[in-house]
Amino acid sequence: MKTFKKIFALLLAVATLASCTVPASTQAKQPSEVSGFTDEDFLSAKRQKLVNKKGEEIRLKGVNLGAWMIWEGWLCPYEGDLDHYTVLSVLEERFGREKAYELFNTYMDNWITEYDLDEIKKLGFNCVRVPFWFRNFYYDDKGTKILDENGEWDFSRLEWVVKECSERELYVVLDMHGAVGYQSDAPHSGKGKSCGLYADTEQGERYRRLTDELWTEIATRFKDEPAVAMYDLLNEPMCDVECSELDRRKNNEFIYTRLYDTVRAVDKDHIITMESIWSVIALPNKIFKGWENVVYQVHFYNGSNSSFNFMAFLMKLFFPNVPMMMGEFFPHGKTTWENCFKTMDNLNYSWFLWTYKATGHGMWSSDWCLRGSKDGFERVNVYNDSYEEIARKWGEGIRTENGFQDSGHYDRNVKEFI
């Protein structure tokens, strides 16, 4: 065991020397210096690095905007551990589709505002990862599109966040957290125990066609936008599905090949990121697939420093010509924040905290979020509260400057590594 540790330490040291240089351009500019992104800021993947058109290396250090466009019970201002599908279904049954979506929009209007993007910029981050799901754009899984006042397919929420982030020189990762038909059994894809995206059935193919349609539209709308750092094709595919890593690899290779081709048909320039989630086995080598301008992504929630370090290094070892990104992470067990950040710095990983804000009990001092709800924060009972009461509770009271406080997580764990 001691010999193994020595070998691993040596390999890690070699990797560190090869990739630990972090240029000043990875540090986000402060608001007074911000002038907005230009075409020169457009990112691409070059061997193990992300670079802009000026040839500068950019390492993304960001935070997820979790619980904004797709909800999880432990993060959101409602009672009960309910997935987003359940909440929306209850609201539609009680108030009808139009009113349910009015409440949905009221929530989103207030959960993340310009104030939050200013705060993220002030803290020194240079990117946000934006989780969304198909119900932001379709009323159902049959392809009924949500239209704007002009009768056009409505993408105003994504367009707003990309525009606002561009003005602040914050990059955006567009993250399909919940595909049509659901890509995992985990409730964070929108609906628990509902993984149907890979099904070898007529319905499964319909889900895939709609997911293709959605990515085609997104890539078409943002193909010339330098603020979009990359397209995150699927969040945590096959998560919570009982299968081997080889089966996960088979399904991932199938769906990622399809979605890669879908995006590349309309956007040949933006980075595409694929998620292995937990291990190297779940993704193929890009060389054998002919994939270009891609980033490989992992989400580590390990229980020890040695496990975190080994798995992070193994990804670099198996995929030496692909930039790496830690799309989400949290140090469980004996893992420490300091170790996570130092290891990612040494191995040149871009990274994103999970998450910016949350409303669960105790979040006011939690390492899960930068802004936690204050003690006594009001929550919605989706089964019993009136329409007016829900609209009020999801109004200005859920704005960060009103119902939240600094959790201390940034000062305790993050500040010195930005």
Q: What is the pLDDT of residue 361?
A: 86
Token pair 């890539």 in the structure block, residue: 219
Residue 15 located in a structural domain: no
Query: Is 31 within the bounds of a domain?
Result: no
| Whole-number pLDDT of residue 245 | 80
Instruction: Take residue 274 and report the two structure tokens written for it.
Output: 């694929």
Would 144 be classed as within a structural domain?
yes
Place of tokens 């924060």: 377
Give the pLDDT of residue 244: 84
Structural domain count, the chain: 1
Task: Please tell me the distance from the alpha carbon of residue 5 to that of residue 8, in angstroms, as a whole number.
Answer: 5
DSSP labels for 204-241? HHHHHHHHHHHHHHHHHHHTT-TTEEEEE--SSTTTT-
**pLDDT value of residue 416:** 98
- Residue 410 belongs to a domain: yes
The residue range of the domain holding 343 is: 58-417
Q: What is the DSSP code (8-state) at residue 73?
A: T
Q: Is 208 domain-assigned?
A: yes
The residue assigned the tokens 């409602």 is: 78
pLDDT in tens, 311-368: 999 999 999 999 999 999 999 999 999 999 999 999 999 999 999 999 988 999 999 9
| Ramachandran bin of 225, using left for φ above 0, alpha for ψ from -120 to 50, beta for the remaining angles | beta
CATH code for the domain in which residue 134 is found = 3.20.20.80
pLDDT for the residue numbered 35: 75
pLDDT < 50 positions in the chain: 1-25, 28, 31-32
Residue 276: inside a domain: yes
Task: Say what the pLDDT of residue 57 is.
Answer: 98
